[in-house]
Structure 1
Amino acid sequence: MPSTSQTAPGPMARITGERITGERITILLVEDHDMVAEAIRIALDRTDDLQVVGRSLSLKDALADAARLRPAVVVLDRRLPDGDGIAAISRLKAAAPGTRVLVLTGEATPAVAARVAEAGGSGLILKAGELGELQDGVRLVAAGEVAFSKGLLSGALDRLTGRTADLGSTLTPRERETLGLLGDGLGSAEISQRLGVALNTARNHVQRVLEKLGARSQLEAVAVARREGLLR
């Protein structure tokens, strides 16, 4: 897929080598949904100190665009057509040393926030939040600080320092049942039949289990659950 990134330095910016510098914080937006990307771009560009200098539609494009544009901050969607954004953080930082990564996601748990921190990301912002939260988040990570949506930072720190309670403490009874069926090797269709629910409902149960365990796949969720003593 071709990149749609465009260099667009404004009146407050200047180009030095490959990297755009100046008073405005330069941003590479990695988001494959057009309407979402446009709303974010408008929200960021309308400020005096933030500037979107490029947009990437995939992780592959993002790696090339980050190396070329050297933005101060990469605003990275968690789920992209060619992979998991969190898993690509280290590659993005290697492609553009000094660039900081702020992840955007539709929903998250402290376990997911911990994954972002462990991968070298500087923050995790929920898409459902206010646009002002995203603007402030970009400013914070550009200044070398961290930016996590409310409720995620403390939970992430607890997980990273080993102070967290039982990882499965937030699982509902139905989600625990779903996890047990995943541990038995069942897929969504079989879980649907076993629980007597619609296939989409079963898939939602599975997805919530993955989110709460900070897992990227059913296999990883089972591995995490066994490690944490949630499954035998």
Structure 2
Amino acid sequence: MPSTPQVLPPAEQAAPDTARHGAGAHITLLLVEDHDMVAEAIRLALDRTDDLKVVGRSLSLQDALRDAALLRPAVVVLDRRLPDGDGIAAIAALKAAAPGARVLVLTGEGTPAVAAQVAEAGGSGLILKAGNLAELQDGVRLVAAGEPAFSKGLLSGALDRLTGRSADPGTRLTPRERETLALLGDGLGTAEISQRLGVALNTARNHVQRVLEKLGARSQLEAVAVARRQGILP
């Protein structure tokens, strides 16, 4: 039987649609972690900020699917090893349960292979448990903004692992989309791309989205990997 969801009182929750946008709004989080001490430390670290709010905690993948559908968090912070399975394998189902949610994986196994698995499954990032809590806070903010967030040293390794995937040979990028792709390859986020190109943030997001669609990629990380495989990027 699934456990009772650990959900904060409604008065303390941020509304799901205001959690992603608006001045002063919180980024709402669902924490999926079965160890009480670890979960409490993470919750305190996230809740002490002005812009992050843990609205629920799940003890298993089964509970997480139910809670994600109920709470509609902006970000799911997901432990990899849970009593009922591997968190990476549940990423797609979690995103289906809470459309628009980003998934940030926490793990003690920080290898390029694991990072590539997260990216291939549709996850937005991977943070090592051996890192500091500030890195986790920043990672949550990045993925909530639609940017990838991988612990130091894992991003380039994940790209190398992903370069075996190729796009449709008929894919054609416009000059502006190639500029956008080059900036993604340099590790820039959407806000930085908008500044470099001198366009509005929404315009930059549209450029990035079209690059992903044309390369058949599900994330910025995978788009760069595909482009390197195709020889579009060095």
When the two structures are superposed, what TM-score results if normalisation uses the length of structure 2? 0.65
Deviations 1:172-200 (A, max 9, x none): xxxxxxxxxxxxxxxxxxxxxxxxxxxxx
Secondary structure of 2:77's counterpart equals strand
Match of 1:81 in 2: 83
After superposing on structure 2, the runs of 4+ consecutive aligned residues of structure 1 that deviate more than 3 Å are 7-11
Secondary structure of 1:98's counterpart equals coil
Equivalent AA in structure 1 for residue 143 of structure 2: V
Match of 2:59 in 1: 57
1:21 paired to 2:18:
yes
Secondary structure of 2:100's counterpart equals coil
Deviation at 1:40, TM superposition (A): 0.1
Equivalent AA in structure 2 for residue 21 of structure 1: T
Change (3 A) 1:142 1:8: farther
Stretch of structure 1 that moved more, 20-29 or 63-72: 20-29
Match of 1:2 in 2: 3
Deviation at 1:118, TM superposition (A): 0.2
Deviations 1:112-152 (A, max 9, x none): 00000000000000001010000000000000001000010
Separation in 2, partners of 1:8, 1:48: 18
Within-5 A mapping of 1:131-210? 131-162=133-164
Deviations 1:21-68 (A, max 9, x none): 241100000000000000000000000000000000000000000001
Deviations 1:54-85 (A, max 9, x none): 00000000000000100000000000000000
Match of 1:109 in 2: 111
Separation in 1, partners of 2:150, 2:11: 29
Separation in 2, partners of 1:153, 1:14: 32
Higher radius of gyration, 1 or 2? 1
Secondary structure of 2:18's counterpart equals strand
Gaps of 5+ in 1: 164-232
When the two structures are superposed, what TM-score results if normalisation uses the length of structure 1? 0.65
Separation in 2, partners of 1:135, 1:56: 19
Separation in 1, partners of 2:149, 2:10: 25
Match of 1:37 in 2: 39
Separation in 2, partners of 1:14, 1:161: 39
Equivalent AA in structure 1 for residue 94 of structure 2: L
Deviation at 1:8, TM superposition (A): 4.2
Aligned residues: 159
Deviation at 1:14, TM superposition (A): 4.7
Separation in 2, partners of 1:131, 1:117: 22
Gaps of 5+ in 2: 20-24, 166-234
Counting aligned pairs with the same residue, the percent is 80
